[in-house]
Structure formats: C-alpha cells, structure tokens
C-alpha cells in the first residue's frame, strides 16, 4: 500500500508547492488531476524519493521512503514529464543502456530483456530504428519500457499523454490500463480525458492542495441537476453570459456558439436545457471554487461520500 500523509513542500521565497496532501492507494491507478503548476510534479518527485518534503511522510508497504528512499528506488518505475534519450541510438540500444543504468538484468541477459520489453510496449518493429525517428507516442512507450523493467511495485507516470495525437493516446491508454492491473500506478495529468478513461479513482490538486478525491461516477453525481446547455447567437452574447453565470465550457458546434453553465440555485439562462454532467464539469467547478470537495482516503468512505455539491462564491 502507498500512503501519503500531510505532505508539505516549501521552496525558498517562500513558495508552498504542497500544502498538506494526503491519500492512500492499495493497488490499481489513481489519477492526479490539476492545472500546470498545481504541485503534481513536486508530489511525484517526493513519492519517488527524489525530493525531500518539508514535512509529512510517504510510506510504501509500511516503510517511510522519506527516511529510506532506497526502499522505493528498488521498487519504482518512473516516467517523468521530460525524459531524455540519445537520438543517435536505436530503440533497442537505448533501452539496453537504460537497463544498465537501472542495474536491471535477467537470466537471458539484457539484450533479451530489452527485446521482451519492446515487444510488450509494441515497439519490436522499431527496435533497430534510431530514436530520433520515433514519434512522440513511440518515445513515451520506450519510456514506459524502461519504467516497467524489473517488475516495479510502484509505477509513476507524469503527464504521459501530453502532445500525443489521438491514435497514440489510445494506444497508451491500453498499455497503462494493462500495467495497472497488478501494481500501484500514479498518473499525473492536466487532461481530464486521461482520468475519465483510465482511473477508477482520482484526486484534484491545485495550489498544492487536494481539493477533491472521488470516483468519476461520484464526481459526475456531484454536479447532477446543476449543468445546463444552450445555444448563443454571438460571441458577444457569450461574453455577457460569462458575467452572469458560471460557464464550464464554451464551443463552436456547426458554426454556432454553444455553452454549458453550472447553476447552483437560481434559474438557468433563457433557452438553456438540463444536461448530463461530465467529469470536466466537475473538475472545472472544483478548481474554480463552485463545488466543495472533501479529500478522503481511497476506499475509506461509502459510495457518494467523497464530494459535496454547493458552496463557493459566485
């Protein structure tokens, strides 16, 4: 089990990157959803034993890794947001080099292990191709190949789908879902779709604080009855709507402006109809302070008890 308890990290300035984050995860995948600069990467680095917290603790299977980081290093697979490769090496040679750096070997040797890992992440066909010719998705899969070497107990992936095209993203989703079946996976992202597709539980983090912790179903339920959608005649009308109502999403659909609004009491705009709530509605409502989210330990509360709808200044 991974237990994160009251983590605080203050940088000189002072700048509070984390302000008391707590959660626990026994197995499977937990999504950490938040805007850029929310503190997600700082949290990941502390959990990975790469950065000391100002206070608080992280335990992996009962061992405090802030005191004994070697414990997590021996059980960790890590794909940071920025992962560097030598572009002139082939995928197979790059992976073998990374296996040497990680100290991972196998009975059949590192070359055979690298081949097996490339097969698992669907890169066997590109093993002899230089990394500089890899697409963004192929580079991410190569990063995952090194991360899962040695069968890690804990897998951390930081913004893994940023910059990927839709097809590559779907391939990466399939791979991450498979990997989460038998290990603890922390997925850090600012992309709501990543959480909606992959994560049975997720936490919203902003300004270094955990604002909500729920299942996607609980999150959507928290906004049920509060979301309305309708057409607008012009961009100017949309701008006026933003001054009177809480707009969660605005888009052009078949050349017409369409908007979704969060209504917590009072009447929706004229012509707007009730709409099924989405995870994005919930996320935007939480980070903008329209919904109160109560952070709880994963699995510690009954269905529906993780979040509360209402509150927040208009």
| Domains located in the chain, CATH noted | 2-215 (3.40.50.300), 225-275 (no CATH)
Tokens of 183: 């290990």
Cβ proximity of 234 and 45 under 8 Å = no
Give dist(CA 179, CA 150) in Å, integer. Answer: 13
**240-271: burial string, b at 16+ Cβ within 10 Å, e else:** ebeeebbbbebeeeeeebebbbbbbeeebbee
Output the DSSP codes for 197-211: HH-SEEEEEETTEEE
Q: Of 223, 162, 227, which Cα lies nearest the Cα of 188? A: 162
Give dist(CA 261, CA 246) in Å, integer. Answer: 5
> How confident is the model over 171-210, as pLDDT tens digits?
888 888 888 888 999 999 888 988 999 999 999 999 999 9
Give dist(CA 52, CA 234) in Å, integer. Answer: 52
The partner residues of 257 in beta bridges, in order of sequence, read 232, 252
Cβ proximity of 223 and 281 under 8 Å = yes
| Local confidence pLDDT in tens for the 314 residues of the chain | 999 999 999 999 899 999 999 999 988 999 999 988 899 989 999 999 999 999 999 999 999 999 999 999 989 999 887 778 999 999 999 999 999 988 888 888 899 999 999 998 889 999 999 999 998 888 888 998 999 898 899 999 988 887 778 888 888 888 888 888 889 999 998 889 889 999 999 999 999 999 999 999 999 999 999 999 999 989 999 999 999 999 999 988 877 899 999 998 889 999 999 999 999 999 999 999 898 765 333 333 333 334 443 333 32
Q: Can you give the pLDDT at residue 239?
A: 93
- Calculate ∠ Cα 137-141-144, nearest 5°: 140
> How confident is the model over 47-94, as pLDDT tens digits?
999 999 999 999 999 999 999 999 999 899 998 877 789 999 999 999
Cβ proximity of 73 and 29 under 8 Å = no
Q: Of 201, 195, 194, which Cα lies nearest the Cα of 163? A: 194
């Amino acid at each position: 089990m991974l237990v994160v308890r009251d983590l605080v990290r203050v940088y000189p300035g002072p700048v509070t990157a984390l302000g008391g984050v707590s959660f626990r995860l026994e197995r499977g995948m937990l999504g950490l959803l938040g805007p850029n600069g929310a503190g997600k990467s700082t949290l990941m680095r502390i959990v990975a034993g790469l950065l000391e917290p100002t206070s608080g603790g992280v335990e992996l299977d009962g061992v405090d890794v802030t005191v004994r980081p070697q414990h997590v290093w021996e059980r960790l697979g890590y794909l940071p947001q920025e992962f560097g490769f030598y572009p002139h090496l082939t995928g197979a040679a790059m992976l073998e080099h990374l296996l040497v750096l990680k100290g991972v070997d196998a009975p059949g040797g590192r070359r055979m292990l690298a081949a097996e890992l490339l097969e698992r992440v669907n890169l066997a066909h590109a093993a002899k191709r230089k990394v500089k010719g890899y697409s963004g998705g192929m580079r991410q899969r190569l990063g995952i190949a090194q991360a899962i070497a040695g069968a890690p107990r804990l897998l951390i992936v930081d913004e893994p789908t940023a910059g990927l095209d839709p097809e590559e993203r779907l391939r990466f989703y399939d791979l991450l879902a498979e990997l989460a079946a038998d290990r603890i996976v922390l997925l850090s992202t600012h992309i709501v779709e990543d959480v909606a597709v992959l994560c049975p539980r997720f936490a919203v983090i902003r300004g270094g604080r955990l604002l909500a912790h729920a299942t996607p179903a609980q999150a959507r339920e928290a906004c049920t009855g509060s979301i309305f959608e309708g057409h607008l005649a012009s961009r100017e009308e949309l701008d006026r709507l933003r001054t009177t109502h809480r707009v969660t999403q605005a888009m052009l659909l078949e050349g017409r402006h369409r908007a979704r609004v969060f209504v917590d009491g009072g009447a929706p705009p004229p012509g707007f109809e009730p709409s099924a709530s989405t995870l994005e509605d919930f996320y935007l409502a939480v980070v903008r302070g329209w919904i109160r989210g109560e952070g709880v330990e994963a699995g510690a509360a009954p269905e529906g008890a993780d979040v509360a709808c209402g509150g927040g200044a208009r």
